Chains A and B, each alone.
Chain A
Amino acid sequence: MMLSGWGRFPRVDAQVEQPRDAGALAALVQARPSLIARGNGRAYGDSAVNAAATIDMRRMNRMLAFDPASGTLVAQAGVLLGDIISVFLPRGWFPLVTPGTRFVTLGGAIAADVHGKNHHGQGSFRSCVDWIEVMDADGAVRRCSRGEEPALFDHTLGGMGLTGVIVRAAIRLRPVDSGWIRQTSIAAPNLAAAMAAFEAAPEATYSVAWIDCLGRGAALGRSLVMLGEHAGMHELPAGLAAQRFGPPPRRALAVPFDLPGVVLNRWAMRLFNSLYYRLGAARAGARLVDWERYFYPLDAIASWNRIYGRRGLVQFQCVLPLEQSAAGLAALLAETSAAGAGSFLAVLKRFGPQDGAFAFPMPGYTLALDFPVTPRTLALLDRLDAITLAHGGRFYLAKDGRMRADTLRASDARVAGFQAFRAANGSNGRFRSAQSERLAL
């Protein structure tokens, strides 16, 4: 069947298998010369696509044990973060680290070592993972952790499924008093103000900025910086006490068809971004927001990827080292704004320290931009790659569907080490994706 990532670009005709248990999975792993595991398909590009065999892990979605003393959950890799929230938020627990959508699987979150709005203080998804069980090329399940097979643990987190199939993991949840977030919005009129707002709030549990990537001149990089803290029961007004763990589930809006590309012209985009900034600035200050609206605003619109039309979308996400961030971000934004090819959904975020052999984050700033797929935007992305390289930055593989192999190598000195681990581990022949082939990983 035709398969792609969330960006619906590129598309590959792939053989898809849906094992239900470790036995069926082991049979597939042993029988197929080349395969990749796939979670809920939320990586944007071709990370979880293999034409020969793509293993859909969503049937292996059982939650196996929970220890309320430590908040440790053991679950199979196909379980959705959203299911974990549905089950455990009413009991007072929330993921320690969550990406911007709850429709990712546990295995996908580990493979991409996803990050959330608390990366600056908490680190990546790795920080909540106690151990991982990985099926190797022989079909054997190997448990790895910081103390047991630490190299496998280090390379599996952020290893994009290329070290084996993640089958089970133990993760720690965070105790929360409510499902509400005390959000503080700060209107930053330009990039320097946005970065200053992040630097002034290292203690904030959560921080993220929506950035107007089409702002020009004095408004280059204008942003709405949103800080967040878990609200305690005592902070909820009387009206919300009955909805301690958030309002009842909302039905997601749907985008029933692919919007024609013309809708996303540069004037519409500029107008949208400008209005969004002004409305946000007018509502700056503190207020209570429910967890869904705060962490997962886009989950409220099912298949929002169709907004970008039939040809799909590409996302660009890089991180720049701290000392190069101001110059690099300014250059990236200036290039994007000049091309007039920006998106609704540009995100700026301060990263903190990061462990791991191949994880994406590093201390500095990350910028994420969406673009509809056109020859013009693909050319722009090549220029953004060059700017990122010139400023010592690197790229998030979970978002990538078009980077060149030499760009990856130029951005990341760890590639050779990752390849060496794969070779030593016997996983380089078996576990491959369209992305790993393209990037010669």
Chain B
Amino acid sequence: MPVLILGARSDIGLAVARRFARDGHPLQLAARNAIGLADDAADMALRHGVAVTLHEFDALACGGHAAFVASLPELPGIAVCCVGLLGDQIENERDIAAATLVLRSNFEGPASVLAALANAFAARGSGTLVGISSVAGERGRASNYVYGAAKAGFTAFLSGLRNRLTRHGVQVISVLPGFVATRMTAGLALPARLTAQPEAVADAIASAVRRRCDVVYVLPVWRIIMAVIRLIPEPLFKRMRL
């Protein structure tokens, strides 16, 4: 059964697609202006001998998500949602429209499309849903709390979905990558030891699907970092510059 990549143009999306193609899975690449991914689709099909189809998809057009799922030539076995928008915190503080876009791109859109897929997977009684959330969602910080809030919502959504769908034979995986070197983070000064490559995120996802994991931190050090950050008492945390 094919693997559906939502937000396939992103660096993580492309890396995940290549990883599953290497394992012999046919691919459904979904993105805005999907036709622009024709070269990538041809490359994956040629290198790995798998069928690759392109699907027009707008994460923010939530009203069309059920129709989008119905329009797929085959219901995928695995769906990976790589949709996201980092945004700019300073801008988000001044401009509610910008903040709304970050909230919708990281929470409303991804949750909406996964909800549509969840119903189809539950009806079939099998499948795997993978959502790429963020460690930023584990505690709000001054430097990126709009993005963090959206990811917190998405993390809670994935957790709830998992709780609902386990009894229907559907696996839900929450991925918390930490820093990843992509176009989204280009220009940020990321610490090398805490930064994963998109290919590492793809490997972690493939391995989580195989091992039926629930929550995946790509670099194990992030599990420790976030555990510590969650433990800091609020009276102290609120005074920290984070």
Interface residues in chain A, defined as those with a beta carbon under 8 Å from any beta carbon in chain B: 21, 61-66, 76, 83, 87
Contact = CB atoms under 8 A, between A and B. Distances in A.
A76 B39 contact: yes
Nearest to B9: A20
B43 interface: yes
Contacts of B43: 61-64
A66 B46 contact: yes
14 contacts: A21-B39, A61-B43, A62-B39, A62-B40, A62-B42, A64-B42, A64-B43, A64-B46, A65-B42, A65-B46, A66-B46, A76-B39, A87-B46, A87-B47
A76 B47 CA distance: 13
Interface size class of B (residues with CB under 8 A): under 10
Nearest to A87: B47
A249 B6 CA distance: 33
A241 to B, nearest CB: 23
A83 to B, nearest CB: 8
A436 to B, nearest CB: 30
Nearest to B48: A87
Interface string B27-51: 0000000000001101100110000
A21 B183 CA distance: 14
Nearest to B46: A63
A61, A64, A65, A76 — which one has the most chain B CB atoms within 10 A of its CB?
A64
Contacts of A62: 39-40, 42-43
SS class of chain B's interface: helix, strand, loop or mixed?
helix
A65 B47 CA distance: 10
Interface of B: 39-40, 42-43, 46-47
B143 to A, nearest CB: 27
A75 to B, nearest CB: 8
Contacts of A83: 47
Nearest to B14: A20
A324 to B, nearest CB: 46
Leading 4 A-B pairs by shortest Cβ distance:
A62-B43, A63-B46, A62-B39, A64-B42
B183 to A, nearest CB: 8
A22 to B, nearest CB: 9
Given A63-B42, A64-B39, A64-B42, 17 more contacts: A21-B39, A61-B43, A62-B39, A62-B40, A62-B43, A63-B43, A63-B46, A63-B47, A64-B43, A64-B46, A65-B42, A65-B46, A66-B46, A76-B39, A83-B47, A87-B46, A87-B47
Contacts of A87: 46-47
Contacts of B40: 62
Nearest to A22: B39
A87 B43 CA distance: 11
A62, A83, A87 — which one has the most chain B CB atoms within 10 A of its CB?
A62
Contacts of A64: 39, 42-43, 46
B15 to A, nearest CB: 12
